[in-house]
Structure 1
């Protein structure tokens, strides 16, 4: 029999990396919650992040936006970032457990009355957030209370890993769409029909509009704001804030951002995320290549040369 067209395509290195990760996840899920979180946090902080270069990337990003930050403080934040990354990963692979934990978790924020009113009226809601704390925790809190919230995700580079990563996102709440034209149209249709969805906006995109993020320009997609305007969806920033015990969360739903120019709406969303990061920088995913200053400078030089060409 020929291979299914849906069979993931990737090399042996991708397959081996995925098998190792699947084994680590399966082993961790056999442990009690607190032990599981502690071990996965330690494994990413002390083993995976240094070997994969993630810790170096965190330190470089911190130096890029906060060059005057003392070295001990940079190292402390890097520890917290990589620890949180490990905990978040294993939390999101225990969908039933996350839903159970979040069903009675504190839910707060100025946006709560408006999203409840929108739900009662059948008005769509588009939630936006960044990779802060655990970005799935607020969604899980609402799903555990009977809400249906879809989303759009960026596929992982490793196709074998992406297979179970995507399945896990579907398990929390459908519909979930893969990023791209088709996925965006699917989400747009869902929202336009009065649905609710989540979009993360803090990932570098070469097609994005440069918006200052922590004092440095970062290309940012405006598609989430454009969808909100097109569908008259409430545009609500939310955050899953990890508490000092390292286990529990508070889901905070902030006041909706008024509709207007999509770029200005994304600037407002960016300021909301900045405020959370400045309050507790260890909870944001500094591992991302959020700014890519060299690539941005190269693109600017090309654009300048094109404008000057006869």
Structure 2
């Protein structure tokens, strides 16, 4: 396991290290301690049910998911939108406790063999000591997919966004460290330097590329304009590394996964390659809509000093939801 320094948060760690943040972390640790007393087969469904119920009761989150669904799929019935939102909340809760049950999840991924045409490219790169950029999104459980690849012998690191609460962030990262989950690199100058060294040494790195990026490029995502980061494709081009989409897809039993590694996205330019990834994850979302994190505000229009704004925007495209 590579050494991981504290996240390069530009001073956020010091700023947010309040008594309240510490108490939040202690509450989380207490809840996790109690949850981990339960067998894994009960723990994961329980957290899924809790998150599903919580999302339905926290009006702003539930409303955001419904608005996102109405925005991209306006022909869906209200009942179907509610069904997808409930499934997404359940999947989020399961993924959350699975992260904090990383040792159990790792053992479960021992016998899972990844599939897909991208495996051949990944294997060839490893044999040649070449870097690989693996790209995915907040779908199913990307941690399960990452552990699966690590279990197959690939040196897979990941770039992550540090949380605002530095204590919870440390708890989150520590869990992965303890089970040999591959090196994690915090977003920021220091983390990017670590990521580049990892890649130049022939490692593979995972980047999640399905969130709003204010400094990105507008391109379609599920048929609607969304600001999208180009960094994954730019990194692949810079290092002449293959850009390979991959996914951890939750099985109907809610506890197991299949891991699919798609073909390498052909090298061209960063925008075209990123658009190709968008089409890849769109297909996954359309096939399993309840496994994507609809809670994210993917389509908000607030970039370029407000130039993305215009009258009559759908609520999903507003910078923030208006109070009713």
TM-score by length of 2: 0.86
Partner of residue 19 from structure 1, selected from 15, 23, 26: 26
Q: Which runs of 5+ in 1 are unaligned?
A: 303-310
Partner of residue 117 from structure 2, selected from 105, 110, 127: 110
In the alignment, the residues of structure 1 paired with residue 271 and residue 189 of structure 2 have an alpha-carbon distance, to the nearest angstrom, of 20
Native 8 Å contact 1:9 1:160 kept in 2 = no
2:219 pairs with 1:177 = no
Q: Which residue of 1 aligns with 2:245?
A: 237
Q: Which runs of 5+ in 2 are unaligned?
A: 1-11, 311-324
In the alignment, the residues of structure 1 paired with residue 226 and residue 49 of structure 2 have an alpha-carbon distance, to the nearest angstrom, of 30
In the alignment, the residues of structure 2 paired with residue 48 and residue 61 of structure 1 have an alpha-carbon distance, to the nearest angstrom, of 14
Native 8 Å contact 2:219 2:228 kept in 1 = yes
In the alignment, the residues of structure 1 paired with residue 184 and residue 271 of structure 2 have an alpha-carbon distance, to the nearest angstrom, of 25
> How far 1:188 moved relative to its partner?
1.8
2:236 pairs with 1:228 = yes
Partner of residue 155 from structure 1, selected from 154, 158, 162: 162
> How far 1:9 moved relative to its partner?
3.1
2:222 pairs with 1:214 = yes
TM-score by length of 1: 0.90
Q: Which residue of 1 aligns with 2:209?
A: 201
Partner of residue 255 from structure 1, selected from 259, 263, 273: 263
> How far 1:21 moved relative to its partner?
2.3
1:13-162 matches, cutoff 5 A:
13-47=20-54, 50-51=57-58, 53-162=60-169
- What does the per-residue CA deviation read over 1:243-285, in whole Å, with 9 as the maximum and x for residues that have no partner? 0000000000000101110011000011000000001100001
2:275 pairs with 1:267 = yes
1:266/1:136 CA distance change after superposition, 3 Å = same
**How many pairs does the alignment contain?**
298
Native 8 Å contact 1:155 1:166 kept in 2 = no
Between 37-46 and 189-198, report the one with greater CA deviation. 189-198
1:297/1:291 CA distance change after superposition, 3 Å = farther
Q: Note the aligned Cα RMSD (angstroms).
A: 2.1
- What does the per-residue CA deviation read over 1:172-219, in whole Å, with 9 as the maximum and x for residues that have no partner? 433211112332232122212211110001111111111210011111
In the alignment, the residues of structure 1 paired with residue 309 and residue 71 of structure 2 have an alpha-carbon distance, to the nearest angstrom, of 20
In the alignment, the residues of structure 2 paired with residue 70 and residue 296 of structure 1 have an alpha-carbon distance, to the nearest angstrom, of 34
Between 290-299 and 276-285, report the one with greater CA deviation. 290-299
Instruction: Report the secondary structure of 2:82's partner residue.
Output: helix
Instruction: Report the secondary structure of 1:247's partner residue.
Output: coil
Native 8 Å contact 2:221 2:278 kept in 1 = yes
